[in-house]
Structure 1
Amino acid sequence: MILDSLAHWGQYRWLSPHFPSAFAFLETITADAAVGRHEIAGDDVFAFVQQHETKLVETCRFEAHRQYLDIQYILRGREIMHWAPLPTLTEVTMPFDADKDAALYARSIPGVPVPVLAGQFTIFFPGDGHIPSCAWDDVPAEVLKVVVKVRVA
């Protein structure tokens, strides 16, 4: 898992040949972008612009992916994302679904809270269990964010 500001994305360039196109998209996206899917490089790199209200962590489950990593970038607002190493998540609530590229796990451990502000991004790799979109100080608030999916498998 990585947390950083968009200005520093270049130091992670070597992690994926798809990162230049993914981050070029993030550098040009504005709060006026349409909510929904945005094509970047076919099925190798694409993004979802999301506008939603954060939720209480107690109502959420960990998720993990196999085929894609997530770059989650906050355009407006702030949220807490929780991280846990995948091997520590032992209670599966939804087995891996290849079509959704996701498995869900009970919040049987608290995970590590990661505060993310506007202008910052996280990278969650396939070995990272994560709970995005959690309320800061348990107060739900609106967030505008972009989740870029980058193929790793």
Structure 2
Amino acid sequence: MIFDKVENIMRYSALLPGLEKVAAYIQAGSYDYAGGIVDLDGDALYVSPFEGVGKERHEAKLEAHRKYIDLQLLVSGSEEIGWSPLSSCHQEMAPYSDEKDIVFYKDTVRDFLRLSPGYFAVFFPDDAHAPLVGEDIQKLVFKFSV
């Protein structure tokens, strides 16, 4: 997992191919939250803008992905994201969905990370995370193919 402010995003370009496209998209500053997925490089890199009401900590569900790395940037509002190492998650809520690249876990969140606007977190396939804890959330979720 990585946690940092958006000004430092290019420090991670060796880990995340296509990060310059992400930085350009962020700098453009025109996000259509109702428009759905935005293609930045086909299946290799895309962004899913999100706008909505968050949830309470007790409602948060850990999730993990096998095919994609998530870079989640908070644009406005307040959000906490739960985190646990995937190696400590053993209680699947349902089998992994290859089509949606997601599996949910019943396990307890180990730690919560508080994002402020302009901060981002990167979750790798070995990071289980529980997003959208908060209020009035506007965020960008970038998906990098592994």
Q: Corresponding residue for 1:131?
A: 130
Q: Give runs of aligned pairs for residues 87-102 of structure 1, distance below 5 A.
A: 87-102=87-102
Determine which structure has the larger strand proportion and give its number. Answer: 1
**TM-score normalised per structure 2:** 0.93
Which residue of 2 is the match for residue 138 of structure 1? none
Alignment-derived partner of residue 121 in structure 1? 120
Alignment partner of 2:142: what SS?
Answer: strand
Tell me how far apart the structure 2 counterparts of residues 148 and 24 of structure 1 sit (CA, whole Å): 13
CA shift, 1:60, in A, is 2.3
Cα distance in structure 1, aligned partners of 2:50 and 2:13: 25
User: Paired residue for 1:38?
Assistant: 38
Preserved contact between residue 73 and residue 120 of structure 1 (Cα < 8 Å) = yes
Matched, 1:6 2:15: no
Amino acid at match of 1:127: D
What is the aligned counterpart of 1:146 among 131, 140, 146? Answer: 140
Root mean square deviation of aligned Cα: 1.2
Q: Note the residue ranges of structure 1 that are not aligned, 5 or more in a row.
A: 136-140
Seq. identity, % = 27
Paired with 1:71 and 1:131, the residues of 2 have a C-alpha distance of: 13
Q: How far apart, CA to CA, are the structure 2 residues paired with 1:101 and 1:43?
A: 12
CA contact (8 A) 1:62 1:131 kept: yes
For structure 2, the residue ranges without an aligned partner over 5 or more in a row are none
Runs ≥4 in structure 1, deviation > 6 angstroms? Answer: none
1:109 shift after superposition: 2.4
CA distance 1:29–1:94, change in 2 (3 Å): farther
Equivalent position of 1:72 in the other structure: 72
- Cα distance in 2, alignment partners of residues 110 and 144 from structure 1: 23
Q: 1:16 is matched by which residue type in structure 2?
A: L
- Separation in 2 of the partners of 1:3 and 1:27? 19
1:67-96 deviations in Å (ceiling 9; x for gaps):
000010111111000111001011010211
Is 2:47 aligned against 1:47?
Answer: yes
Preserved CA contact (<8 Å) 2:48 2:140 = yes
